[in-house]
Structure 1
Amino acid sequence: MNDVVLRSGGMRRLGRQEWMLAPVIMLYGALFLLPIVIVFRMATEKGFSSFETVLSSPVFLRVVDNTLTISLTTTCLTVFLGYILAALLWKTEGSKRVVVLGFVLLPFWTSVLIKNFAWTFLLQDNGVINTALRSLGIIDGSLPLLHNRFAVIVGMVHYSLPYAVFPIYTSMLAIDTRLERAARSLGASLFSTFWHVTLPLTRPGVYAASLLIFIVASSFYVTPVILGGPRQMMIANLVDYYTHTLVDFSAGAALSVIILAAAIVLIAIYQFLPKETQHG
């Protein structure tokens, strides 16, 4: 009987704590929803004509193709490199792990502008990479490494890499290392152990990292401007074009609503992906 009273009292205390947090939750909810409501209102102030203007524009299809291609390529490369770094973090111990973690966190310590301008110095015609290749006699002229899709993807992968490492690394920490030893003791090769044991167990981390990176990559604005060119315009750059160049805020808001709807669809698809592995 006393246990029941204590549990009910604990529930009442928990309820009071939730009510104390209610103003903060409402404030953050209002700050999140209010901009969305304003953008949606601007997008529909002319009815749905702004959506028709955006969707019927030939530039829109070209920009969507750029955004999907660059974002998917960035996601695949970042998840691949992030998996390697996460495995390195997982297998190392002591001071070596701290060093690897420092290199992973390094992109967080500098702003995106500084990273992009650093890549311009590395990739330009007289930059470090072309100069080194000419000094080694590999090339005679200069490779076109800047102001193209390659440069945009390089800059975006560099920025997004930590977002891939930590979800995958978190899923690796939950793996029982005895499973790998058991697989090796039963005659499985290193690749078979990875393919049939490690990879399935880290699949939720890969899913989470892929979704996060794709959403972040598809909304890039600064990197395509600095490292790319007009042909590498992405969806965020098109929003800026509508609002600042054409001064058509309704069309820019309509395009923003379309981006938000696409992100919601991706998150909904992610919710249906299996959160547990085949060994869960």
Structure 2
Amino acid sequence: MADKITKVGKGVLRRSVARFLGRREFLFSPLVALYGGLFLLPISIIFKMSYEGGLAGFERITSSLVFSRVVENTIAISMTTTALSVVLGYFLAALLWKSRGTKRLLIFGFVLLPFWTSVLIKNFAWIFMLQDNGVINTALMSVGLIDSPLQLMHNRFAVIVGTVHYMLPYAVFPIYASMLTIDTRLDRAARSLGARGWSTFWHITLPLTRPGIYAASLLVLIISSSFYVTPVILGGPRQMMVANLVYYYTNTLIDFASGAALSIIILAAASVLIVVYVSLPKEGQNG
């Protein structure tokens, strides 16, 4: 009787394993395990480091005057970058959507060029443009619009210019992807019923591209809030962002507990943004 039960159990196990191996999801399991391990292992190490000595690391972070200043910089820069990137990205995505042939390829090239270029190269190019004897100040002084160079470097303006330049492709493509799902006959139908261009955009195009706007806003906001190189090169100490503060705690003060605690705070804030994005309505999203 026991042998029969064992044989039946082995048969059920073999059939279950064969059924699992025959599923398409099994092909993705090594990839899921790899990426899951690469994500969860560092996160678990950071969690462990942040709680060394209890909540002392969190207390040092939240009680610091530098932390409040850095949070203010991060929110202001990332929110402004998100707004400008989404607005400019929407216009570029619409231009791509309406263009055809060679014109579309050229626009794609101009959009992708910053995407393929190193962030260091882009930042040093903006130094060449924004410095006191740079292209912009030289051109303005040569035509008599200003008498002395404008202070365009080492301030929040320069940081926002650099971050918007970097983040623009991340805003264009989600919006452009949502525009590709729109049936062009809707525009013709609205115009045949007497709707003008602005009315058609407001009541048809904008609601149908709202999922792309949400995705672009989330992507740009999360990435721009973790910028490190651009605030250092184009900004300065007064424009320090959260990533710069993490570096300061871990490499200057050698306070890994506080640096890990700050990283956990950043991760929690990003998780809240993702939850908010998931809860947003997805009007116009097909499938």
Superposition TM-score, scaled by structure 2 size: 0.91
Q: Structure 1's 202 and 139: CA in aligned 2 closer, same or farther, altered over 3 A? A: same
Distance (whole Å) between structure 2 residues aligned to residue 90 and residue 217 of structure 1? 26
Number of the residue aligned with 2:36: 29
Q: Does 1:82 align with 2:127?
A: no
Number of the residue aligned with 1:168: 175
- Aligned-residue offset at 1:102: 0.3
CA deviation vs aligned residue, 1:112-143 (integer Å, no higher than 9, x gap): 00000110010000000000001111111001
- Aligned-residue offset at 1:238: 0.6
CA deviation vs aligned residue, 1:190-230 (integer Å, no higher than 9, x gap): 11111111101000000000000000000000000000011
Distance (whole Å) between structure 2 residues aligned to residue 272 and residue 171 of structure 1? 18
CA deviation vs aligned residue, 1:141-173 (integer Å, no higher than 9, x gap): 001101000000000000000000000000000
Distance (whole Å) between structure 1 residues aligned to residue 168 and residue 238 of structure 2? 25
Q: Identity of paired residues, percent?
A: 71
**Could you say what secondary structure the match of 1:237 adopts?**
helix
- Give the partner amino acid of 1:237: N
Q: Does 1:52 align with 2:42?
A: no
**How many residue pairs end up in the alignment?**
270
- Give the partner amino acid of 2:121: I
- Give the partner amino acid of 1:18: E
Q: Structure 1's 190 and 20: CA in aligned 2 closer, same or farther, altered over 3 A? A: closer
Q: Structure 1's 278 and 253: CA in aligned 2 closer, same or farther, altered over 3 A? A: closer
Indicate the structure (1 or 2) with the bigger Cα radius of gyration: 2
**Could you say what secondary structure the match of 2:53 adopts?**
strand
- Give the partner amino acid of 2:75: L
CA deviation vs aligned residue, 1:48-84 (integer Å, no higher than 9, x gap): 1111110111111111111001100000000000000
Number of the residue aligned with 1:243: 250
- Aligned-residue offset at 1:175: 0.4
Q: Does 1:155 align with 2:162?
A: yes
Q: Does 1:71 align with 2:70?
A: no
- Aligned-residue offset at 1:13: 7.6
User: Which stretches in structure 1 are left out of the alignment for 5+ residues?
Assistant: 1-10
Residue in structure 2 matching 1:192, options 176, 183, 199: 199
Which sits farther off after the overlay, 184-193 or 134-143? 184-193
Which sits farther off after the overlay, 268-277 or 236-245? 268-277
- Give the partner amino acid of 1:261: A
The CA RMSD over aligned residues, in Å, is 1.7
- Aligned-residue offset at 1:15: 3.8
- Give the partner amino acid of 1:99: L
Q: Does 1:94 align with 2:101?
A: yes
Superposition TM-score, scaled by structure 1 size: 0.93
Distance (whole Å) between structure 2 residues aligned to residue 131 and residue 249 of structure 1? 45
User: Which stretches in structure 2 are left out of the alignment for 5+ residues?
Assistant: 1-17
- Aligned-residue offset at 1:186: 1.6
Number of the residue aligned with 2:10: none
Q: Does 1:181 align with 2:216?
A: no
- Aligned-residue offset at 1:23: 3.1
Q: Is the 8 A contact 1:86 1:169 kept in 2?
A: yes
Distance (whole Å) between structure 2 residues aligned to residue 113 and residue 272 of structure 1? 36
